[in-house]
Amino acid sequence: MTGMRIMETDEKAQLVSKAGLVAVLMGGDSAEREISLLSGARVLSALQNIGLDVVAIDAAEDLVAQLASLKPSRV
């Protein structure tokens, strides 16, 4: 892909350490729920593949309570 490059090991380690816990919001209760679950799962997988600490959150459930409980660094 044009414009993409492979991250050096030290760059990846810095990214992982700075990112903290990343919450990926997906789902919800709209008509687009199934598409959101699919795209959210792909985002989750991509972030896991580069070594980030990630968690999936279904936005159809009590979103505020989930975020308060997990305390992610990034959403």
Block means of pLDDT (10 residues each) for the chain, 75 residues, are 66 82 96 97 96 96 94 96
Domain boundaries, the chain: 12-70
pLDDT of residue 61: 85
Q: Does residue 45 sit in helix, strand or coil?
A: helix
Q: Can you give the pTM of this predicted structure?
A: 0.79
Contact 63, 29 (CB under 8 A): no
Rg, C-alpha atoms of the chain: 14
CATH number belonging to domain 12-70: 3.40.50.20
